[in-house]
């Protein structure tokens, strides 16, 4: 009986030992599987060839495709600093020699590779699918911007450090618009002074889901874009700009109609002016700038005539600007407005008191009955 107990104890001990050994092996296997893999060896294997200066190949189009990767540039990029391996983007390259390049042109080569960005940046990639760039690409325009056109490939850097990098990136395709923007009140402050508070391209057009300015909803809702800054009292106070600039537009005839369109027919174009119709788009100037579209009575008249072709020389004088009348600004309008604000309620109030007193007197007389003399 004693021997039987010893045998059972030894068997149990053996099973526990085997189980512990299995668990240890499994844990070890898991630690190897999920630990970050050293990528230096992989990159060194790639750079052994691709760090060779002036490495290139010729494509069927006759264009030369440069294959050299500058080690310092890559290691200084956001991907190099994060320790990414070449093969994390170039997943189709497994063997050496590599499979032949199938692209006929350099642009075709770019279009074959840029979708690799989606592996890490899926949300950003999905957002681009609704952008004007992707729609142009789907429509057959192979020159429409893709990820690497804006962010680069082996030299990717933070896109907004400094913020002036944003419009300079857009300049690669939109140079004429950039030239207008850099001389505007916004662009000169950002590019010339490094002011972080002024809008760049992406603040108005979006980042990855970029909207085109010719679409109905973009123009209709453009006052809301301006409101991001011009209705921000804290931000505007730093530059001595009154937020009434925006509020006065919303409350006047033009702005009220636009707001109604936003609520009732958001997908339809409006024929009422929005901010950009008067102040410009990329070339917005300070209102006291002689080059501004509202910088003088003559300039303002020319701007008004875009919608009011029959406007005479006195037409702009009816516009008081975006500021409410005050004793200092438009005092005549202010005091006339104040007079009517007091006069009309006074007249109406007097009439209410008069009617109420008359009605009360008539009721009192009826209760007393007819008077006998």
Per residue in 105-129, pLDDT tens?
999 999 999 999 999 999 999 999 9
Q: Which phi and psi (to 5°) does residue 61 adopt?
A: -75, -10
In the predicted model, is pLDDT for residue 149 greater than 80? yes
What distance in Å separates the CA atoms of residue 295 and residue 121, rounded to the nearest whole number?
45
The string of DSSP codes covering 170-220 is HTTT-HHHHHHHHTSHHHIIIIIT--TTS--HHHHH-SSSPPPTTSHHHHH
pLDDT score at 22: 37
Secondary structure in 3-state letters for 103-157: CCCHHHHHHHHHHHHHHCCHHHHHHHCCCHHHHHHHCCCCCCCCHHHHHCCCCCC
R_g of the chain, CA atoms, integer Å: 36
In the predicted model, is pLDDT for residue 137 greater than 80? yes
pLDDT score at 94: 79
Which of the 8 DSSP states describes residue 202? H
Enumerate residues 6+ apart whose C-beta is below 8 A from 66.
55, 56
What distance in Å separates the CA atoms of residue 324 and residue 330, rounded to the nearest whole number?
9
For the beta carbon of residue 357, count every other beta carbon within 10 angstroms. Answer: 10
In the predicted model, is pLDDT for residue 18 greater than 80? no
pLDDT band at residue 372 under the 50/70/90 scheme: low
Per residue in 288-337, pLDDT tens?
888 899 888 888 899 989 888 988 988 888 776 777 778 887 788 889 98
DSSP-derived 3-state class of residue 182:
helix
Residue for token digits 């390049």? 101
Residue for token digits 């119709």? 277
């Amino acid at each position: 009986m004693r021997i039987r107990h010893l045998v059972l104890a030894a068997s149990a001990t053996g099973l526990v030992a085997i189980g512990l050994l299995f668990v240890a092996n499994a844990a070890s296997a898991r630690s190897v599987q999920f630990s970050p893999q050293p990528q230096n060896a992989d990159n060194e294997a790639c750079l052994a060839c691709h760090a060779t200066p002036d490495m290139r190949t010729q494509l069927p189009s006759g264009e030369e495709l440069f294959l050299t990767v500058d080690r310092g540039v890559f290691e200084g990029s956001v991907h190099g600093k994060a320790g990414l391996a070449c093969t994390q983007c170039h997943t189709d390259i497994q063997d050496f020699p590599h499979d032949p390049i199938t692209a006929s042109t350099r642009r075709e080569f770019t279009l074959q590779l840029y979708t690799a960005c989606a592996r890490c940046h899926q949300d950003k990639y999905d957002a681009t699918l609704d952008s004007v760039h992707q729609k142009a690409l789907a429509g057959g325009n192979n020159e429409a911007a893709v990820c690497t056109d804006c962010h680069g490939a082996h030299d990717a850097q933070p896109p907004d450090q400094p913020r002036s990098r944003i419009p300079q990136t857009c300049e690669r395709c939109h140079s004429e618009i950039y030239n207008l923007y850099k001389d505007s009140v916004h662009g000169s402050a950002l590019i010339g002074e490094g002011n972080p508070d002024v809008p760049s391209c992406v603040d108005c057009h979006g980042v990855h889901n970029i909207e085109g300015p010719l679409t109905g909803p973009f123009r209709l809702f453009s006052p809301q874009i301006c409101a991001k800054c011009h209705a921000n009292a804290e931000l505007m106070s730093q530059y001595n700009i009154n937020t009434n600039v925006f509020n006065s537009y919303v409350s006047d005839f033009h702005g009220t109609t636009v707001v109604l369109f936003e609520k009732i027919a958001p997908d339809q174009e409006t024929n009422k002016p929005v901010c950009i119709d008067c102040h410009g788009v990329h070339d917005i100037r300070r209102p006291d700038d002689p080059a501004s579209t509202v910088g003088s009575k003559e300039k303002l008249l020319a701007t008004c005539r875009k919608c009011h072709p029959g406007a005479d020389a006195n037409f702009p004088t009816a516009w008081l600007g975006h500021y409410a009348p005050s004793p200092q600004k438009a005092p005549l309008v202010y005091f006339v407005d104040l007079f009517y604000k007091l006069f009309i309620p006074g007249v109406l109030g007097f009439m209410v008191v008069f009617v109420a007193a008359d009605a009360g007197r008539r009721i009192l007389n009826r209760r007393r009955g007819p008077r006998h003399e």
